Structure 1
Amino acid sequence: MAAVAEKVAEAATRERETTEQLRRGGSFSEFETAPERLAAIWAAKHAEWQRVRDLITQAGWDAYEPERDTQGSKWAQERAERRAGALAARAAFEARRREEADELRAELRLSAVPSRLIRAAADRVGLMPAQILAQLAERVVVSEDGTVSVPPFTPSR
């Protein structure tokens, strides 16, 4: 109970300090988090430690027993699930970014004659001109002497 009381006092002090510093416009440069977020974190920690203290007192426990704290256990599970979801989303984002690093996006301006040929080929097979150009690019062959060519092919959907 003494350890919980210390945590309540520490959280109250930190909450008060961060709120005052935020009001004064003081610097939080030593932290990588936004001042408003830091103040909110300490307010939440203060409230949670008060809840734990009240639970221990009301339940008559000698010490905090997390497995018997249904509300705390539920919140811990929700935090773990959100963290796992965030980590999975971040991993998927990084994988997409690595994949996109190998992609080439280009804007292409063609003169009238090649442009008409590409549009006609696209119209015949029901594709967009950009899709025809992508299929052309996928079939590019670069010879040893640096010559670039595309073997004949039929565009497809």
Structure 2
Amino acid sequence: MWSAQDVARDQVRRQASGLDVAAVAEKVSEATARERETAEQLRRGGSFSEFQADPERLAAIWAAKHMEWRRVRDLMTQSGWGAYEPERDTEGSTWAQDREDRRGGALAARAAFEARRREEAHELQAELWLSASPGRLIRAVADRAGLVPAQVLTQLAERVVVSEDGTVSVPPFTPSR
């Protein structure tokens, strides 16, 4: 769900909290080396057995982490911060809020999908074969109402009444859109 940049920004934001400029500079150096290693491994076509990860994604994440660690280092240097505080990083906070909004939207969409699936579990889909005479009647009614035969049958089924003795009937009605 998250891009390589999203993953990098989230991890750097969490890991950088409370670090001073020297520690962040070490993280930049580490990210530089890891970016170079993963890019080289990707060029050679080798796998990352220690991670069992997609080599392209891992290389992209390390490239993004390198860029994000440099951004944090530059921000701290320009702002004169003694330690990185994620709350003071307006750009990082904006990105974090955006990720959270997207995550919330994705979770809401998933919940709606699951609700639809639960509802669909109670639905009935049937293929109905009618003999010629009832089929002609249903088609004629559907034509007059401007519907397709399946819509007329759906309206019939929605109006079914089952009496106490098990008799099934449909009160008179006019099919409509």
Q: Quick check: TM above 0.5?
A: yes
Query: Normalization by structure 2: what TM-score?
Result: 0.69
Counterpart Cα distance in 1 of 2:47 and 2:73: 32
Higher mean alpha-carbon deviation, 11-20 vs 115-124, is at 11-20
Pair 1:60–1:99, CA change in 2 (3 A): same
For the residues of structure 2 that align with 1:14 and 1:96, how far apart are their CA atoms? 44
Deviation of residue 51 (structure 1)? Answer: 0.4
Match of 1:114 in 2: 134
Provide the aligned C-alpha RMSD in A. 3.1
1:51 aligns with 2:76: no
Structure 1 residues 149 and 94, CA gap change in structure 2 (3 angstroms): same
Equivalent position SS for 2:106: helix
Is 1:140–1:148's contact at 8 Å kept on the other side of the alignment? no
Shift of 1:72: 1.5
Name structure 1 gaps, 5 residues minimum: none
- Tell me how many residue pairs correspond in the alignment: 156
Query: Which amino acid in the other structure matches residue 80 of structure 1?
Result: E
- The unaligned stretches of length 5 or more in structure 2 are 1-20
1 or 2 for the larger relative contact order (CA 8 Å, sep ≥6)?
2
Identity %: 75
Distance change >3 Å, CA 111–CA 36, structure 1 → 2? farther
Q: CA deviation at 1:130?
A: 0.8
1:86-126 Cα distance to aligned partner (Å, 9 max, x none)? 11111111111221222223333433222111111222333
**1:30, CA displacement in angstroms?**
7.6
Deviation for aligned residue 1:35: 3.9
